[in-house]
Amino acid sequence: MAVPVNELSRLPLLAGLPQVTLAHLAQHATERSFAKREVVLQKGGDGASFCFLLEGRLQGVDFTADGREVGLYFVASGDYFGDLAVIDGLPHPIYVTAVSRSRVVFVPRDLIRPILFAHAKVAEILCTGLSLRLRQVSGQRRILGLANPLQRVCAQLELLFVKDADGKVQVPNAPTHQEIAIMINASRETVTRVFQLLQSRGIVERNGNHMNIDDPAFLEDVAAGRRQPE
C-alpha cells in the first residue's frame, strides 16, 4: 500500500531529495490513521520504521519507575518521529500517543537510514532537529529543579511561549492543564490553581487554542524566585 509521492515531497525533511529517491521511499511506505489517545509507537519496540506525521498532533510520553505519566514533547503536523531507534538501533525510548486524530506515514528503516546520512541537507536538518530537541528536554529537566509548582508552571510557559513580530507573546496550541501537569511533576489540580491565580492577575489569558502571555517579565520573575504573586 504505497503513499502518494507528493505527500512525502511536502515533508520538510525530505523536500530536497531527488524525485527518484522520493518515489522509491513512497512505494515502500505505508499510511495509518490513529484515534485520539491511541498509541502510535510502543516504548521498547524496535525502530522498524521512520515515521512522519501528515496530520494531527502527537505527544511523546513515558512513565516513571513507580508508574506516573511524564510528558516529554509534542510532534506537530509535518514533523518526523521514531527517529532515535532508526538512527541508533536501540529500542524506542518512549511511547508516542495521538493527542488528536492523526495520520502517520511509516517508511521502512533499512530503506531510509542510508538516505538520511548520504544527503548533506537531510543530515543537517536531522542533526538540527536532534539538537533542538536536546535543548528542549534539557530545559525541561532544569525546570524540575525548581522547588514549587508555581515556579515550574511559570518556567514551563517561558519554555513554550514565542514572541511574534509585533512583540506579542503567545503559547501557540497551548497544552491542557493535564498535559502541563505531567511535564512538570505536578497534579492537574495544582496546575489549574496556578492558572486561576495567573489569570486573575492578568498575567495570562486564554485565546481560543492559544494562550496570550500579557506579562512575560512576571513569569520570569516568579520562575527565578524573585517575585511571589500577591
For residue 56, count CB atoms less than 10 angstroms from its CB and return exposed for 0-12, middle for 13-18, buried for 19 or more. buried
Q: Does 137 bind its own copies (CB under 8 A)?
A: yes
Q: Which stretch binds its own copies (CB under 8 A): 48-56, 95-103, 159-167, 216-224?
A: 216-224
Minimum gap (Å) between residue 129 Cβ and its own copies: 9
Q: Does 151 bind its own copies (CB under 8 A)?
A: yes
d(CA 135, CA 133): 5
Q: How far is CA 55 from CA 1, 32, 52, 105, 152, in A?
A: 18, 11, 9, 10, 31
Minimum gap (Å) between residue 108 Cβ and its own copies: 18
Specify whether the CB–CB gap between 116 and 159 falls below 8 A.
Answer: no
Could you give phi then psi for residue 211, rounded to 5 degrees? -130, 125
Closest by Cα among 45, 6, 46 to 29: 6
Q: Does 114 bind its own copies (CB under 8 A)?
A: yes
Minimum gap (Å) between residue 2 Cβ and its own copies: 27
Q: Does 132 bind its own copies (CB under 8 A)?
A: yes
Tell me which of 147, 166, 209, 230 binds its own copies, using CB under 8 A. Answer: 147
Q: Does 217 bind its own copies (CB under 8 A)?
A: no
Q: Is 40 helix (H, G, I), strand (E, B) or coil?
A: strand
Specify whether the CB–CB gap between 33 and 102 falls below 8 A.
Answer: yes
Q: Does 120 bind its own copies (CB under 8 A)?
A: yes
Tell me which of 121, 163, 201, 206 binds its own copies, using CB under 8 A. Answer: 121
Nearer to its own copies, 174 or 223 (CB): 223
For residue 198, count CB atoms less than 10 angstroms from its CB and return exposed for 0-12, middle for 13-18, buried for 19 or more. buried
Strand partners, 205: 212
x/- letters, 30..69, toward its own copies (CB under 8 A) = --------------------------------x-xxxxx-
Minimum gap (Å) between residue 151 Cβ and its own copies: 7
Q: Contact residues for its own copies (CB under 8 A)? A: 62, 64-68, 70, 72, 83-84, 87-88, 90, 93-94, 114, 116-118, 120-121, 123-124, 126-128, 130-135, 137-147, 151, 155, 185, 220, 223-225
